[in-house]
Structure formats: structure tokens, C-alpha cells
Amino acid sequence: MKRLFPILAVLTAIFLAYALHLALSKATPTDALQGDVYRIIYYHVPSAWTAFLLFFINFIASIQYLVRAKASTQNVARWVVIAIGVIGVGATFLPQVQQMLPTGMRPSAVATTVLMIPAFYFLIGWLFPGGRLDVLAVTSAEVGVVFCTIVLVTGPIWARPVWGIWWAPGDIRLTSTLVLWLIYVSYLVLRRFSSSAQTQMLAAALAVFGALDVPLVYFSIWFFRTQHPQPVIGGGGSMDPRMLHTLLISWLAFLCFAFLICWSRFRLELLKREVEQAHAMESLVGAGASAEASLPLSRSSR
């Protein structure tokens, strides 16, 4: 696996360069209303999608970490996840539920999204057993915060020439995205500076709470009036096929980049914990040796 990392790193760099070329190339049309400034979409939107995916992984890993203490709790969680998948997919094709969906949102897209919950739940549980769940949770949160920061930086840069302002305080999508970023920054601060034995459990509970903000961020432009335009992907709008192609290529490049960062950070976190465990064992052995060495002295003093 170590030999594979440099190869994937080179391929990802090439992929990112190709995505940048497409984003800035004259072959990709210029937006009729915004001009060339719209091209920041090829970094702003893929960063948001990548952050949402990483926070979703953190959410699944945190739930599994919370329920792993007891076998009975694990079994209940598995059946609940299966029920969510079955009922959720079936419900999306009911006429009553379809009427509640935003205009332009396809039931098949909703069903596919619902199926991701049990799929990711069982896949993550299989690939990351035991304590690796917590390592995956903190890794995905760290990288997710990085991409969420890119979203918050590129958003105002894009908004200034288009809206005439850097930030719209009353915009629900902007505010909810900032709240999401603050929640996960708080999660990382808790993991970094708390030394309590319950830190990992508290952090997992905070991550589950924070993930609830992700659907609010995503669906805010459907259910609230915001500065953001209505969605053109999955929302009844339209986008030039060349723009959509470039946007998807950029997202795939960002996903590859995020995967490499998570992979590297995951390995570092495992090594860090192994070193901490080794130091703890050395301290225990040293304390035990010191106690044994002091026993003859105490006996002779009697």
C-alpha cells in the first residue's frame, strides 16, 4: 500500500491540473450573466460536496463508535439502518411523498441517497473495525473542515462581484454553512484539548448532532428564500453539458485529493496512537520495576 500512495499522488496531481485546465479553458463556455467570475463554481461547489461527504462518513463512523460497546445495541442499530433504507426507498415512490419533494427533485435521486445510509454503514463497519472507527471519524472531520473552509472562503469571493456584498447575514445557506463549520471546529477542539476518558464518546455525540445541519445546508435553497440561486442540478434547472462535465471532473479530482489526504492523516493518527500506547506501557513497566526494587529496602529497614 505504501508503494501505491506515490502513484496515486501523481495521478491525482495530473487529474487536478486537468480539472483546472477545463475550468479556465475557453472550451468551457462563459456564463451569460456572471461572466468569467462564475468559474469559481468549479472549486466552490466540489469543495462543498466533498465536505458533505466527509461529514457524512464522520456521522456514520461516530454512530458505530457509540453503539459498539454492546452487541445488543449493535444489532438494534443494524436493523434500524436496514429499516431506514427499505422504508425510505419505498416511501419516495408514494404519490403523497413525491408531492412533498421540491420541484425538479427526482424520486430516484432521493432513493439513491437514502440507500447510501445502509451501504456506508455496513461498508465502514467492515473496513474499520474496533478503534479504527474513531480514527476514521477524526480524520474525516479534519479533512471535511478544510474543504468547508474553502467553501466559506470562495463563496464571498464569488459573491462580491455578483451580489455586490461579501456576506449576506440573513441568507440561511450562508449562516447554516458557517454554523456547520463552527460545530466541526468545536469537535476538533474537543478532541485536541480534552483529556477526559469520555472525550471520544462526547465527540462522537457532537458529530452526530453536527451532521444534522448538513441536510439544512443542502435543502435551504429549496425551502427558504436566499441570495443563492435555485439549483440547476436536480432542481429543475439546466446547465450547459460542457459546464456540467467540467464540474463533475473537478469534483472527482477533489474526491481523489481528499482520499489521499484522509489516507495520509489516517496512517499518521494510527501511528500516533501506537506511540502513545507504547509510552503508556513503558511508564507502567517502569513504575512496576521501581515498586519491586523498593520492596527489599523496605523489608531491610524493618
Among 191, 207, 183, 196, smallest CA distance to 269 is for 191
The upper half-sphere exposure of residue 190, i.e. CA atoms within 13 Å in the direction of its Cβ, equals: 19
What's the pLDDT tens digit per position in 230-257?
Answer: 665 655 556 778 888 888 999 999 999 9
Average pLDDT over the chain reads 83
Among 201, 181, 180, 178, smallest CA distance to 190 is for 201
260 CB burial (10 A radius; 0-12, 13-18, 19+):
middle
This prediction's pTM: 0.87
Three cell numbers written together for 88? 425510505
Per the model's pLDDT, the better-predicted residue between 104 and 19 turns out to be 19
Sign of the torsion formed by the C-alpha atoms of 159, 161, 166 and 171: negative
List the beta bridge partners of residue 35.
Answer: 31
What's the pLDDT tens digit per position in 50-82?
Answer: 999 999 999 999 999 999 878 888 899 899 999
Separation CA 151–CA 143 (nearest Å): 13
Strand, coil or helix: what is 35?
A: strand
Per the model's pLDDT, the better-predicted residue between 256 and 1 turns out to be 256
